Structure 1
Amino acid sequence: MTYIAHIRQKDNEIQTVPEHLIEVQHGAEQAGEKIGIKNLAGITGLLHDMGKFTELFRDYIQEAVANPDKPPRKGSVDHSTAGGKLIHERYHTIHAIPQAKVTAEWIANCIISHHQGLRDYISPDQTSPYIERVVTKELQQYEQAKEEFYKHIPPEQLDSLFELATAELQHYIKIIKDHKLPPITGSLLMKYMFSCLIDADRTNTRCFEENETPIQSIDYRSFFEKSYSLLSQHLTTLEQGNYANTPINLLRREMSRQCDEFALRPSGVYTLSIPTGGGKTLASMRYALKHAIQHNKQRIIYIVPYTTIIEQNADEIRSILQNDDMILEHHSNVIDDKFEDRQEDDDGEAYEVRAKNLKLARDHWDRPIIFTTMVQFLNTFYASGTRNVRRLHQLSNAVIVFDEVQSVPVHCISLFNAALNFLHVIGRSSLLLCTATQPGLDFVKHKLHFSDEPEIIQDLDHVGRSFKRVELHDLTQQAPSGWGAEELSSFVQDQMREVNSVLVILNTKMAVRKLFEALNEAEWLQEEGVQVVHLSTNMCPAHRKAVFSGNEEQEGLIQRLAKGERIICVSTQLIEAGVNISFECVVRSLAGLDSIAQAAGRCNRHGRDAIRNVYIVRAADEVLTRLPEIKIGADKTERVLQEYRDNPASLGNDLLSSAAIARYFEYYFYEIEDKMHYPIKKLEQKNLFDLMDRNRYYVDAYKHKHAKPPEVLNHYAIATAEKYFEAISNNATAVIVPYSDKGKKLILDLNGELEPNELGELLREAQQYTVNIYDQELRQLEKNGDVIHLLHGHVLALREPAYSEHFGVEPKGEGTWDMAML
C-alpha cells in the first residue's frame, strides 16, 4: 500500500510518507547542525507526519483532492499526534532516566505541535495539555501507523537517534547552568528545535508542490568578501569628498576604523555608542562584514525600531553592495497573524488549496543580509503559531546588529535580554547594540550578559564633546499646560526668521495633523514661500520614502533641504531614529530624554554650521493616556531637567551627556521595574517571562489541585505565553493602501489566483504599501465601504478615497491627491 503525504495540485503527483519524512529529517538536521542539535531536530522531522501511515489519512487526502469544493472536515483525521505519542510511550517510561524523559518531552511536543505551536506542559487551568495529547487522547489506527513506521525505521535505529539527541540536550543543559542563564533559555532552545522542524516541513512541502529542487545553499563567505571590498571602496571615495576633512567627518572615519579593528574580537555581545549622526550604519556594516568573514558567520541581520529606518538603511546598503537579491527587507505582516490558527485546528492539516498556498508563500529569512524590525525580531521568539518561529533558526551563527536598541518595548525588556543571551551562548551569534543612548540592559533584574570590555568606541566622553553640534533649550516651564497648534505655529514662525528649515516632532498623529493644518492656514507661510511636509505612520513605507528621497515626479525632502529650500516638517517620532536628514532647527515635544537626544540628531547633523538650537516644549494637543511609556519617559525627563537647572555640573554641563542619559535611564527603569517582565492583566498580573521560565505559580497550583507533582519534568507554559504576547499592544491590522500606480496594481494582482512563489513575491512587495490600522479606524473604514477583501478575505486593502497624499490613511474617506502642498 502507498501511504500519501501530499498530492500535487497541478498533476496529481504523489509524495509518499517515507519520502516526506526522510527529506524533512534531512532539512531539520541541516538547520539544527548549526548549533549542534542535528539529532534533536532531525528526529522531529523523521516522526512529525508518522500519523499519515494510515488508511484513514490516505482516504482523507484523496477525498480532499477529489472534492476541492466540498473537502472533508479539516482535522477529521489526526496525523500529527502519532509521532509524539510514540516518542513519549517508548522513552518516557517509569524506568527511564530523567535525561531521557526531558528529551522525550521536547521531541514529542515539537511533533504534536507542528500545525499550531508548542503546547503547555502545565497550563493556567492546572492541567497538562501535553499529557492530554500524547497519553490521554485515543488515536485511530495508531498501532497500524507505528507498525508501518518501523518497517522503514527499525526500533533500534530510532533508539540510536534518540540516544544521540539526549546527549545533545544534556550538553546544552550543562552550558545553560554553567553560564548561569535562567530556565527560559531552555524553552527558547526548544523553540529553536521547533523552528528547524517547521522550516524543513514547509520548505519540503513547497518544493514538492512547485516541483522544484531545494535551493542550493548560498556561498555566504564569497558574498561577504565581495561586499566588504565594495564597502571599503565606498569609504575611500567618501574620504576624498568635499567635506571629508571636517571635524565631524574625521571623527566618523576614526570610529569606523575602530569598528573594523574590533571585528577581529571573538563572538560576543558588544556595544557601539556612536553619537547620533556619527555614521552608525556604515560603521556597523563594516564591523559586521569583517566579523562575518573572520568568524564564518552565515548571515548579517539588522534589527531596527521603525520601518522608516529599514527603507533608508537597506537602500543605502544596496547602492553600495550592488546586489538586490542578497538583501531582504521584512517590514511587517501583510496577512493577519491569526490567519494560520484559523486555517488549522489542533489535529489536522489545511487541505484547502488557497490556505496552503498562503502558508507556503511566507518568507523565512533565507538571504545573507536581512533588515527587519524589533517587532518582527521579538515575534520570532515569542509570537503564537508557526509562521514567526519558522525564522528563528536563521538567527543562529549570525552577526546581529540592533540599531537604536533603547527602543525595546518596556514590557519586553526581560524577554529581549533572554533572547539575546540565548543567541550568543546557544545560537553562536555575535550581537552589536548600537545607539547614542545605551539603556543599561545589564543593570536590570533579568540582565543582558555583555562580553568583557564591550564598547567599541574609545574615550566616549571626548567623542561626545567633539561631536557637539546643537544646544538644547528647555522651554517646558514657559507654558505648564502646553502650547496648542496656533502657539506652536507662531513659535515655528519665529524660528523661520533665523533659519531655512525647522523640524517639529510631536508624540501623537493627531497633534501632528493639527499643527500641519494650522501652519497651512498661516498667511506668512504662503507669503514667504515656505513648504510644509507631514510625516506619520499613517503613510505607507513607499509613501514616506518618496517624501524623504523623492521619485521620478519630484525631489524629496533630503534633496530640497540640501539645496537650502525653506521647509517645515511636522512629524511623529518615526523621523527620530536612523533617518539621514538634517534641519537647521528642531522643536521636540516633551518625551523621554533618549527620544529628545535622537531628535537632536536631526539638527545640524553634519556639523557644517555653528551650533544650532533644539527646543524642548510642551504640546497641549497630545493625549498620552494610550502611550504610557512616553508619559513615563516625559515625567523622568522633567526630573532630569530640574536637576540640570539646579546643578548643571552634576550632569556634565550638557543635557545630552552620557551622565544625563544614564541618570534618565536610572529613573526610568526604577519606575517600570515591574513592567519589564511582561505582566499579563488577564492572568492577574502573572508575567510572561515566568510562564516560559519556571512557571512557578501554575506548577504550585497543579501540585495543590492534584496532590502530587506533575508527571512531566518540563513545566513551560509556552502556548499560554504566546497567546498573550504582543510586542506592541495596539490591536492593529495590516492593510494594503492604494499609494501610487504600484500600490493600486498590487491590490489588483492580489485579487487573483496565485501560485506560492508568485504570491510570496507579491506579499513581499506589498510590505512597502502596507499600513497598520487601529481597530477603531478599521471599523470606520469598513462602515464607509472603503475596505477591500483580497485572497478570499485573508488580506485587506483600502479604496482610493481612504488614502491621501498628505496624511496617508483617511478613516473618514476624505482622501485627496493634491500635490501643491508638497
Structure 2
Amino acid sequence: MEYIAHIRKKDEKIQTVKVHLEEVKDGCEQLGEKIGVRHLAGLAGWLHDLGKNTTLFMEYIQRAVAAQKTGDASQRPRKGSVDHSTAGGRLVYRRYHRKGAKDAEKMAAEWIANCIISHHQGLRDFIDSNKTSPFLKRVDENKEEVIERGYEQAKSTFFMWHSEKELDAYFAKAVEELEWLVAIIVKNELSMITCSLLIKYLFSCLIDADRTNSRQFEEEEEAKPTENFHSFFNRSYNALMRKFGELEQSKDAAKPINRLRREMSLQCDEFAIRPSGIYTLSIPTGGGKTLASLRYALKHALERDKQRIIYIVPYTTIIEQNAQEIRDILNENDMILEHHSNVIEEEDAPENVADAEAYDLHKKKIRLAKDTWDRPIIFTTMVQFLNTFYAKGTRNVRRLHQLSNAVIIFDEVQSVPVKCISLFNAALNFLHIFGRSSLLLCTATQPSLEKVKHRLHLSNENEIISNLDKVGKYFKRLEIKDRITSAGWKAKELADFVLDRMDKVDNILVIMNTKSAVRKLYKELKGRQKSSECDAKIFHLSTNMCAAHRKEVLDNLIEDLKPERKERVICISTQLIEAGVNISFQCVVRSLAGLDSIAQAAGRCNRHGEVAIRQVYIIKSADESLKKLKEIGIGAKQTQRVLDDMKEDPKLYGGELLSKAAMQAYFKYYYAHFEEDMNYRIEKLGGNKQMFDLLDSNLEYAEGYFDKSDEISELINYAALGTAEQHFEAISNSGRAVLVPYGEGKKLIKDLNGDLQAGKLGDLLRKLQPYVVNIQMEVLETLDKQGDISPLLNGEILALTERAYSKIFGVELDGENV
C-alpha cells in the first residue's frame, strides 16, 4: 500500500510517505554535512514521519481533504489528533538504546529520537522539573494499544522498503559521527551544554528540511542546490574597494582621523586571510567599524569559502542605519535581508491584479527568507540571535543551521544581556568549534567574555587592530572630566552647569539614566528659556516616545547640528542615543553609569575630530533612582571604583579612563557582582534554578529522577531542553506594547477601529509598528484607571488616548522610570 504524507490542495496529488522521508533525509544530510553530522541529521529526516505509514493516519488525512472540499467543518478531524511523530523516535530508541549498547549508541539514539518526536512542537525534556522523563514517556513507556499498533504497522512498512541491515549500517555511521563530536568536546574542554546545542542543530536541520520539502511539494517547486554566493561576495568586495577609493579622494581624506580609519580598515583586510576563529575588532568609537568589519567579512568569506555574512546588532535602529549604509555601497538590495520587528513593506499592494500577485509573491518570499535566512547578508538583532538557539517552538530554531560556515559580526557586543552571557558564550564556542564559523566581536569596549566562569574561547592573537593603546592615543579627540559630587546634582544645579558650558560651545548632549531625570532637566531648561537665560533649542529623547516620534526628533536634531545652520542646541536624552546614532556634539555630559556606557556617550562628542580636543563630563544626578535598574546601578559603582583607583594612582591604566586596561578592570569588577546571574536564573522555578544548568548537566533534576525511579534508567542525556525553552526570554519584559496617537499613527488607529476588509489587518498592523511604545504594567494600570487606554479588536490590541501622549515627552505620566 502507498501511504500518504501530503495531499496537494489544488489538484489532490499525493506525496507518498516513502518519497517524503527519502527527500527529507537528503535535505537533512545536506544541512548536516556542513558540520560533519550528515548521518545523525539524515537519520532524523529518514524516520521523522514514519508514523504516517498507518491506516489510521491515511484515514485522517483523507477525511481532512474531504472536509475541506465540502466546507463541512464538523467533518474535519482535529489537527494533530493522530500521532505520527512518535513511531520514528520509538524505532530508533528501541532498536539502538538496548542494554549492553555503547554509550555512544545510546546517546545517538536519544539525540535522534528526541528530534523526531518533537518536530511539530519543541524539543522534549530528557528529565524535567517533576523528576520524570517526558522523552521516555513518548519513546518507550507509553504502551497504549492504539500507539503500539500504529508503531508496529509503521515499522513493518518501513522494512518492506529498506532492509534492517541498511538501517543498522546507516546508524553505525551516525554513531561514528557522535564519537567524533564527543572527542572534540573533550579536547576543547567544553561543557555538556554543547551536547544540547548539537541536538538543537540536528533539530534545525530536520525542521528546515521537512518544512522546505512540504512547501516544495505543495507549490510544485523543484529542490534547489545550495546557492553559492562567491560571485556576489566578489562583486561586493570590489564595490566596497571602489568606495574606499572615493573616500581617499575626498576633501577630508588627509585629516588624521580619516587616515587612521583607512589604516584600521587595511588591517581588517590583511587579517581576513587567517583561519576561522573568534576574533575582536576594538576600533575606537567613530573609527568606521561598519565598513571595516564588512571589508574583513567579504575578504574572509572569499578566502575561506563562507556561505553568508550575518550582522548581529543590539537595536533595530542600528540595523536600519547600517543596512542602508551597506545597501548604498553594494547596490544589490535583494541580497541583503533585515530581520527585525520594525521591517514593513513600504509600498501598498498594487490595484492591478497581475502586479498584486507579484507583490504577494514578493511578500511571501520575504517571510520565507526571514524563517530560513537564505540570503548572503543578514542583519538581525541580538534578541533574534539568542532566540535561534534558546527560544521555544520550531520557527526560531529552523534557521540555526544557517549560522554555520558563516562570518558573524557582533556589533556593540558589550550589550549582551548579563543574564545571557553564559548562554551567549556557549553558542559562540559551538559556532566556532563545530559550526566552522568565524565570529567577530566589534566594540570600542570589549567586555572580557573570556574571563568569566563559562568563558568564551577566543582565538590566539585575537585582536585585529595592532597597538590598540597607541591607536587610542592617536584617535583621542576628547578628555574625560570628573564632576561627580557625593550628593549629586538636582535638575537646577545641572542646568546651571549645562548653561555654563554653553558659554564655551554651541551644542551639548546630556545623557541621563532615567526618563524622569531627563524630563526634569528638560523642564528646568525650558523654564530658563522663558526667562531668557537660555538661547538654545532644546530637544528631548526617551523610550516613552514611539519610534516614529524619536526618528522625527533625531532628524530635526541632526539638521540643526549642521555647521552651516549655526544653531545653538541642547539635547537631553536617555541612553538610547548612545549606540547606532551617527551624531556629533561639541560637549557631552553623562550621568554616572557603566564605563562602557560612558565610552559610548563619549563617542557622540567630537565624533569626526572637528577640533583637536573636546570635553566629556561625568556627573552624578540626584534626580535618579536606580533601585529598579540593577545593572546600571552596579555599573555606576564599578566606574566609580575605577575612577577612585586612578585618583590614587594617576598613571594607572595608562592614565586614561577609556583605555583597554581600564575597561578590563571595569568588567572584572562588574562581572564579579553578576557571577551567578550570568547563567540565566529562572525565578519561576524557585529562584536558584539556572537555565545554563538545565541545558548542561541538569544534575538536580537528574538526581531527583534517579531517586524516584524503581528501575535503573540508562539515559545518557539529562538536559531539560523543553523547560529551558519555555522560560527563555532574551530581554525580560514585564510591559505591554501599546499603540500611540502620534502623526500618521492617529489615522491608522482609527482605521484599526473601523470595519476592516479581509486581508487588510496584517498590512495595517505592520504600518502601525513605528507607533508603538512598550509600557510597564503598573503604569498601564494607572493609565487605564485614568481612562487613557482604549481596547481594540476585542482587547487584543491597546491604544493610548491623545491626551496621554505628549508631543514632547511621549507617554504622559509622571513617575520614576516611566
- Please indicate the TM-score interval, normalised by the length of the shorter structure: 0.7 to 0.9
1:241 alignment counterpart: 250
Change (3 A) 1:539 1:264: farther
Residue 123 of structure 1, aligned match among 124, 128, 149: 128
2:676 is paired with a residue of what secondary structure?
helix
2:488–2:619 Cα contact (<8 Å) kept: yes
Aligned-residue CA RMSD in angstroms? 3.3
Partner of residue 439, structure 2: 431
Query: Kindly tell me: are residues 506 and 202 of structure 1, through their superposed partners in 2, closer, same or farther at Cα, counting changes over 3 Å?
Result: farther
What one-letter code is carried by the residue in structure 1 that aligns with 2:571?
A: C
The 1:64/1:257 distance shift into structure 2, 3 A limit, reads same
- Asked if residue 495 in structure 1 is aligned to residue 501 in structure 2, the reply is yes
Map residues 10-25 of structure 1 onto 2, 5 A cutoff: 13-25=13-25
Task: For 1:262 and 1:558, locate their aligned partners in 2 and report how far apart those are by CA, in whole Å.
Answer: 40
Please state how far the C-alpha of 1:582 moved relative to its aligned partner.
Answer: 0.7
The reply on whether 1:255 has 2:259 as its aligned counterpart is no
Residue aligning to 1:689:
692
Match of 1:324 in 2: 333
Structure 2: distance between partners of 1:779 and 1:358: 37
1:304 counterpart residue number: 313
- 768-777 vs 655-664, which moves further: 768-777
- Is the counterpart of residue 590 in structure 1 residue 589 in structure 2? no
Are 1:731 and 2:737 an aligned pair? no
Q: Contact 1:306–1:574 at 8 Å: present in 2 too? A: no
Alignment CA distance shift 1:289-1:767 (3 Å): farther
Q: Does 1:77 align with 2:82?
A: yes
Quick one: which amino acid aligns to residue 492 of structure 1?
A: V
Deviations 1:56-84 (A, max 9, x none): 33333444451575544343222221211
1:505 aligned onto 2:508: no
Deviation of 1:53 after TM superposition, in Å, equals 2.4
In the TM superposition, 1:281-680 aligns within 5 A as 281-332=290-341, 363-477=371-485, 480-524=486-530, 530-541=536-547, 543-548=549-554, 550=555, 556-557=558-559, 560=562, 563-680=565-682
> 1:358-411: CA deviations, max 9, x gaps?
997963322111111212211111112212211211110001111111221112
Q: Deviations over 1:513-549 (max 9, x none)?
A: 343344444425988663333333344555544544x
* AA matched with 1:452: N
- 1:202-243 CA-to-partner distances (Å, cap 9, x unmatched) read 233334445544566433111111111111111111111121
Q: CA deviation at 1:161?
A: 2.4
Measure the CA separation in 1 of the matches of 2:571 and 2:557.
Answer: 15
Q: Secondary structure at the match of 1:446?
A: coil
Distance 2:601 2:667 in 1: 17
CA separation of 1:746 and 1:81: change in aligned 2, threshold 3 A: farther
Q: Note the C-alpha offset of 1:706.
A: 2.6
TM-score, L = length of structure 2: 0.88
Q: Report the counterpart of residue 232 of structure 2 in structure 1.
A: 223
Deviations 1:272-299 (A, max 9, x none): 1111111111111110110011000011
Deviation of 1:701 (Å): 2.2
1:786 aligns with 2:786: no
SS of equivalent to 1:86:
helix
SS of 1:503's partner is strand
- Summarize deviations over 1:321-347 as a string: whole Å, max 9, x none: 112211112224999xxxxxxxxxxxx
> Distance between the aligned counterparts of 1:804 and 1:156, measured in 2?
73
Q: Which residue of 2 aligns with 1:275?
A: 284
SS of the counterpart of 1:270?
Answer: strand
Shift of 1:19: 3.7
1:49 is matched with 49
User: What is the distance in 2 between the residues matched to 1:297 and 1:360?
Assistant: 22
User: Matched residues in 2 for 1:744 and 1:18: separation?
Assistant: 54
The answer to which of 672-681 and 539-548 deviates more is 539-548
Aligned partner of residue 616 in structure 1, secondary structure: strand
* In the alignment, structure 1 residue 143 sits paired with structure 2 residue 155: no
Distance 1:706 1:105, change over 3 A: same
Distance in 1 separating the partners of 2:169 and 2:745: 55
Contact 1:334 1:763 in 2 (8 A): no
SS at match of 1:532: strand
- What letter matches 2:92 in structure 1? I
Give the partner amino acid of 1:633: G
Give 1:473 deviation, angstroms. 1.5
C-alpha distance 788-296 of structure 1, shift in aligned 2 (>3 A): farther
Tell me, in whole angstroms, the C-alpha distance in 1 between the residues paired with 2:749 and 2:27.
Answer: 33
Instruction: Please report how far the alpha carbon of residue 28 of structure 1 lies from its aligned counterpart in structure 2 after TM superposition.
Output: 2.2
Give the drift of 1:624.
2.1
Q: Which residue of 2 aligns with 1:87?
A: 92
Relative to structure 1, is the Cα distance of residues 668 and 292 closer, same or farther in structure 2, using a 3 angstrom cutoff?
same
Identity of aligned residues (%): 59
Q: Judging changes above 3 Å, is the alpha-carbon distance between structure 1 residues 462 and 284 closer, same or farther for their aligned structure 2 residues?
A: same
Q: 1:653 to 1:673 in 2, by over 3 A?
A: same
How far, CA to CA, are the matches of 1:561 and 1:804 in structure 2? 30
Tell me the distance in 2 between the aligned counterparts of 1:537 and 1:663: 31
Cα pair distance change 1:173/1:746, threshold 3 Å: farther
- Cα 1:510–1:527, aligned 2, differ >3 Å: closer, same or farther? closer
CA offsets per residue over residues 143-201 of structure 1, 9 Å max, x none? 22223333444433332322222222221111111111111111101101111111222
For 1:543 and 1:293, the matched residues in 2 are separated by: 41
SS in 2 for 1:587: strand
1:232 aligns with 2:237: no
Q: Cα 1:319–1:667, aligned 2, differ >3 Å: closer, same or farther?
A: same
Tell me how far apart the structure 1 counterparts of residues 652 and 196 of structure 2 sit (CA, whole Å): 44
| Rounded Cα–Cα distance in structure 1 between residues aligned with 2:525 and 2:562 | 19
Q: Over residues 30-63 of structure 1, what are the superposed CA-to-partner deviations in whole Å (9 max), with x where a residue is unaligned?
A: 2212112122112212222222223333333444
C-alpha separation in 2, matches of 1:38 and 1:47: 14
TM-fit CA distance, 1:772: 4.3
Structure 2: distance between partners of 1:764 and 1:16: 39
- For residue 93 of structure 1, give the secondary structure of its aligned residue in structure 2: coil
Aligned to 2:183: 174
CA distance in 2, matches of 1:562, 1:56: 77
Shift of the 744–48 alpha-carbon distance from structure 1 to 2, 3 Å rule, reads farther
What secondary structure sits across from 2:5 in the alignment? strand
- In the alignment, structure 1 segments of 5+ residues that lack a partner are 336-355, 813-822
1:99 is matched with: 104
Alignment size in residue pairs: 780
Secondary structure of the structure 2 residue equivalent to 1:124: coil
SS of residue matched to 1:676: helix
Contact 1:788 1:799 in 2 (8 A): no
Which whole-Å CA distance do the structure 1 matches of 2:86 and 2:408 have between them? 36
Q: Which amino acid aligns with 1:605?
A: R
Q: Is the partner of 1:701 in helix, strand or coil?
A: helix
Report the 3-state secondary structure (helix = DSSP H, G, I; strand = E; otherwise coil) of the residue aligned with 1:648. coil
* 1:192 pairs with 2:194: no
Gaps of 5+ in 2: 345-363
1:107 positional shift? 0.4
Shift of 1:786: 3.3
Sort the Cα spacing of 1:487 and 1:101 in 2 relative to 1 into closer, same or farther, 3 A. same
Q: Deviations over 1:724-753 (max 9, x none)?
A: 222222234556767665997799699665
| TM-aligned CA deviation for residue 491 of structure 1 | 3.0
Q: 1:303 to 1:616 in 2, by over 3 A?
A: same
